[in-house]
Each structure stands twice: as C-alpha cells, then as structure tokens.
Amino acid sequence: MPSDSRKSLSSPGVEAKETVLPVNSISAPAQVSDNLSVAVQYFLDWKPNRLPEGGTCYGASDFLFNADRFSLAPGFFINRRDALEPDRKRGNFGVNARWSPEWLDGTVGIYYRKMDERQPWAAPQINAVPGGFYRLVYARDTELLGLSVSKGFGGVAVNAELSYRRNGAFINTGINPLTLEGPRGNSYHGILNGTVLTKPGSLADTLTLVAELAWSRWDKVTANPNLFKAYGSVPATTCAAGEEKYNGCATKTYVGISVLASPKWLQVFPGADLSMPLFLGYGLHGNAATLSGGNQGSGNISAGLSLEYLAKYTFDLKYTDFVGKFRAPAGVITTSNGAMYSDRGLLAFTFKTNF
C-alpha cells in the first residue's frame, strides 16, 4: 500500500496502519484447514507514496515534487514534465499462505508479490540546457518473495521477516535517457522485532516496549549499473572511500534500529488514561541501496503525551526532531536522509476520534 511519508516524518513512531493510504483492490482469503489459510490480493488502482512537497517544512528538495519549474540560477529555469507512472489499471497482485501448527505455537507465512514501485527515483532526468526538463520516474514490475515467523517467547511477542526483492529501484545519480529508468537490482531485507507489555512497579500502571532491528543487503545490479550511487561506482564521484557514509552512497549492508517505550497511567481522572510514548529510530551501519531505505548516523526521535478519554477521544501532544550527519565538499551539501531535517524540530497537537 502507498505510505503517507508526510505523516511519518511529522510523527515518528506512529503506528504503520496510520500511514497507509487506501487503494482500490480485491482480496480473497480462504481457510484451507484448521491451521492453514491462503489469500490473494489484486489491486485495481495504483498510487505513489505521499511525499512532502518542495517548499514545505519537510520537503526534501525545493523542486520536488509538483512544482511547475525549478530555478538553477536567476532567470534560468527547468520545466517539469508529467511523471512516468505505471499503468494505474493494470493491477499489482500478491498471494500468501499462513500456517499455524500446534507444535510451533506460532505462525509461519510465505508471500509473493509483483508490484510497481511507489517511491520515485529522486531528481531524475535534469538537463542543464535551455529547454531542459525534469520529472519523476517509478520502477515497474518489481518482485518480492518473503517469509515470516510470529511466536511468543516468555511474554514477548516476536516477529521475524526475511524477503528477497528482484529488480527493485536503487538509489541513483541520474536516469538512462533511452530507458528512462535509474539503476535496478536485487536485494535482501530482514526485520526482527519484539513487543512486551509489563508493569514497571510504582512508576506506571503498564509499560509497552517495542524494539525492531532492520537489515538490508544489495545482491547485484541488474540494470543501469553506471547510474548506481554506491561506493566504487565510477560516476558517483562523491562516493570515494571514507566519503560514502555521510554522502548517502549505498554500502553493501545497512542496519538500523527502532525503539518505542510507552508507560501508561490508568484513570488519571474518570474515563481518562494517560500515556507517554518515547521513540528513537537510528541508522547503525551503512546506507541502504533501495530508495529511502535508511542511512548511517541519521534518525528521528519523538516524545509526547497521549490522553485517551472514554476509549473514543485521543489528544496527543508530541515533540519531534531529527539527527543526521553530512559532508559538504566544495561548498555543496550532499547528505544522507535525516541530516536535512536536523534543524526542523516540530511540536504538534493532534486530536482524533471515531464515529
């Protein structure tokens, strides 16, 4: 499903379900036996991720994504052309099977998806000549094969996922003028997380702890290797040894971590529960080869208070900030994700309810 990156940036640690954007689709689950189920999903539409626009607080670059033109210098502009998007009605699809044997006391899942990417190649096809143009391009026909395991261990709910992506979009230094695509390749991805609900003594009534470790490793480049922004790639001049970590250049492996701690106090006044969610997300090692996959030394933090009243109304007050490192050779800032937001802390108040 497409993701609302605007909300993810302004509310680090928000639940994944709150950032999912709706897309028309048909799904058909079937319970084959007591411990085996299968499901098929077919999308009737395609939408890109919702990204912060240029000129807004969390816009990654001033000309992205729907500006009419981009100023290279006073009086010199490059116009924007329509994005190259997949056929919206062609449909992406996936199948899965989930098995829950008694001896495991957990669930094993296998997954296959064929999909069009929802994250565009950044700054594609910019021609620095009069009459030049830029536009966004989305990779098509990426495939994913995945395996998941969910099981409880002594009061800790543990989930693990491992997937292999074929012909996914890799971070780029440009766009092939003939194929109108950036580099594509195969990559491995893994996630391990655990959730525990406990009582921390007199400090709070309950405490929820969630920790997640994310890992990725690119396998090989299958198209346009000369455009791959990675250490050792000749065109990527900012990816020399010692520079790749903080110039956003892909390394072979990436590792990141996320931690959420949320103490909760019940019935602070009649009908009201108060919690204090604290979140940290950080890139521990390397830069991911996939688009927006994470970078070493960059991350986000948030702290706030959440008041739930009558199990219907929720009031949130949260402060969000970012950390990141970058290099600035020759007076030009080339940065990993996160550093560009390090001066954009945000204090926000939100209210939500259900009807």
DSSP state of 333: -
Note the pLDDT of residue 336.
47
Note the pLDDT of residue 80.
76
- Rg, the chain, Cα only: 22
User: Is 242's pLDDT higher than 70?
Assistant: no
Residues 224/236, Cβ–Cβ less than 8 Å: no
Output b/e per residue, 130-157; b: 16+ Cβ within 10 A.
eeeebbbbbbbebebebebebeeeeeee
| Residue 11: its H or E element | none
Q: How confident is the model at residue 330 (pLDDT cuts 50, 70, 90)?
A: very low
Q: Which of 16-30, 209-223, 278-292 has the highest mean pLDDT?
A: 209-223
Tokens of 301: 């933090």
Tokens of 235: 């065109």
Tell me how far apart the alpha carbons of residues 122 and 173 are, in angstroms, rounded to a whole number.
9
Tokens of 9: 């940036």
pLDDT tens-digit readout, 93-104: 999 999 999 999
DSSP state of 120: P
User: Is 75's pLDDT higher than 70?
Assistant: no
User: Is 36's pLDDT higher than 90?
Assistant: yes
Least confident of 43-47, 88-92, 285-289: 88-92
Q: What percent of the chain has pLDDT over 70?
A: 83
Nearest-5° angle of CA 170, CA 14, CA 138?
A: 25
Phi, psi of 125, deg, nearest 5: 50, 60
Tokens of 245: 């970590």
Q: Which residue has the higher pLDDT, 53 or 253?
A: 253
Note the pLDDT of residue 344.
81
pLDDT tens-digit readout, 207-234: 999 999 999 999 999 999 988 888 766 5
Tell me how far apart the alpha carbons of residues 165 and 156 are, in angstroms, rounded to a whole number.
29
Closest listed residue to residue 26, CA positions, set 102, 93, 111, 74: 93
pTM: 0.87
User: Is 274's pLDDT higher than 50?
Assistant: yes
Output b/e per residue, 238-257; b: 16+ Cβ within 10 A.
bbeeebbbbbbbbbeebbbe
Q: What percent of the chain has pLDDT over 90?
A: 51
Q: What is the mean pLDDT of residues 125-148?
A: 79
pLDDT tens-digit readout, 198-209: 988 889 999 999
Note the pLDDT of residue 331.
41
Domain boundaries, the chain: 5-256
Mean of all residue pLDDT scores within the chain: 85
> Helix (H, G, I), strand (E, B), or coil: what is residue 52?
coil
User: Is 76's pLDDT higher than 70?
Assistant: no
Q: What is the mean pLDDT of residues 14-39?
A: 91
Q: What is the mean pLDDT of residues 20-28?
A: 93
Long-range CB pairs of 155-160 (<8 Å, 24+ gap) are: 155/196, 155/197, 155/198, 156/194, 156/195, 156/196, 157/194, 157/195, 157/196, 158/192, 158/193, 158/194, 159/191, 159/192, 159/193, 159/194, 160/190, 160/191, 160/192, 160/193
DSSP letters for 231-260: TT-TT-TT-STTTGGGTT-B-SEEEEEEEE
Note the pLDDT of residue 114.
95
